[in-house]
Amino acid sequence: MKGGKPRTMRYGAAILAAVMLLALALGCAARNAGEPDGGAGGPAAAGEDAGAGGRSRDGESAIAGAEDEANHNGEDAANGETAHAENDGAGADEPAEPSVQADIPSLAEAYAGFFPIGAAITPEQTEGLMAELLKKHVNMLVAENVMKPSILQPTEGQFRFEQADKIVGFAKANGMEARFHTLVWHQQVPAWFFYDKDGKRMVDETDPAKREENKKLLLERLEKHVRAVVNHFKDDIKSWDVVNEVIEPADPGGMRNSEWYQIAGIDYIETAFRAAREAGGPDIKLYINDYNTNEPAKRDRLYELVKELLDRGVPIDGVGHQTHVSVDWPSAASLIESMRKFAELGLDNIVTEMDMSLYAWNDRRDYGDNIPESVIKKQADRYREFFEAFRDNKDLVSAVVFWGIADAHTWLHDFPVQGRTDAPLLFDKNLQAKPAFWSVIEAAKE
């Protein structure tokens, strides 16, 4: 007896355990003999999963992440044919790793006969996978933030061009055109612009003579800023957003009641355009940029302002239409109608900041990672609507610039609902082409 059990019982249990282990090993070997060896990274059988969500296509090796995470309508991102349904419920496979699809069309090449395709980027996106995605699909770049006054001249007289230079250098190195955004805005402008020589806020001044003195000082500061920035970039940038978002129909007179406007009226707009032209010469193109330009009230007030400035001889070359739209609003036709109105003044039109939210303005829902197939399809249909309109009116539209390139990075995350993500662009968060991408590609075919 040992531990309360006979020795013969212990020997019998050991023999039984050994027999069971041997049987299990033989069974596993027999089951694995018929499966392909995926350990070397080779292609899987046609239609089967390969690695972490990748799939083989037409006998080629599977590309990591080819199963588009946002592609909830089951459409194959490579050829438009029906694909396996994606598991978007509990227990789904791990998400694919980000990658750049080499075997899909280039957006820039698809629209080479119509207009450039651009994207807003950050300096960090000039390296890594995002840079490779940009190099494949766009031929125009604009800085999302680092060309704004608060970045370029945070302290009076001290300019910081390094981050903007990185984007411009990346554009040049890859044969892309660069745009500038923006010389003047009511946001992301350093406070020092709006304080007088005594350190007092200019808008708080009530003495008429002092207010006139402050206006002169503000316009001098603005002119110096514009001249310095344009002189720095004029050899590399030909397309400039000079002023941004100066119209607000709800404010007095329809002009945005910013500190710029309260202190200087519309003279700050005129000063910025004239300084830009004088510093940059006749070859650069100068734009006034705004959102919701399709709305009649805003469009008409912007038209009145631009016409007044043109009548004064202010050098405005075109209108930038931001085009932050949603799957529900507005119609492409309403935007084209606005473009025609400005074209009658001899002005160019650029789509400067396009993206398409999944949500209407007051929609507080959050789809999370489970975006309904119907919404993904609606986004694709709406992108097709816009790009068919741009294609058919290429005489009005000189460029289309997206405000970003993939859903991994967009200003619409947390806006206007904190904690909510959005998916407004043509590539998903793993940089894979969405149904909207294929709609835009199809729209290039007349």
Residues with a known catalytic role? 245, 353
The DSSP result for 396-409, as a single string, is: TEEEEEES-SBTTS
Q: What share of the chain is helix, strand, coil (3-state, %, to 5)?
A: 40, 15, 45
Closest CA to 54 of 426, 436, 46: 46
268 Cβ neighbours under 8 A, 6+ residues apart: 184, 218, 219, 222, 243, 260, 261
CA R_g for the chain: 29
Distances (CA, A) of 385 to 74, 257, 335, 380, 381: 21, 35, 12, 9, 6
Residue type, 411: W
Enumerate the β-bridge partners of residue 296. none
Contact 66, 47 (CB under 8 A): no
Torsional class of 253: left (φ above 0), alpha (ψ -120 to 50), beta (otherwise):
left
Closest CA to 69 of 380, 408, 354: 408
- Tell me whether residue 237 is exposed, middle or buried, using C-beta atoms within 10 angstroms of its C-beta: 0 to 12, 13 to 18, 19 or more: buried
Please calculate the CA angle 337-238-221 and round it to the nearest 5 degrees.
Answer: 100
User: Which tokens sit at 110?
Assistant: 């698809």
The CA distance from 302 to 319, in Å, is 9
Q: How many CB atoms lie within 10 A of CB 264?
A: 21
User: Which tokens sit at 139?
Assistant: 């031929």
**Is beta strand 318-321 parallel, antiparallel or unpaired with respect to 348-357?**
parallel
**SS3 (DSSP) at 180:** strand
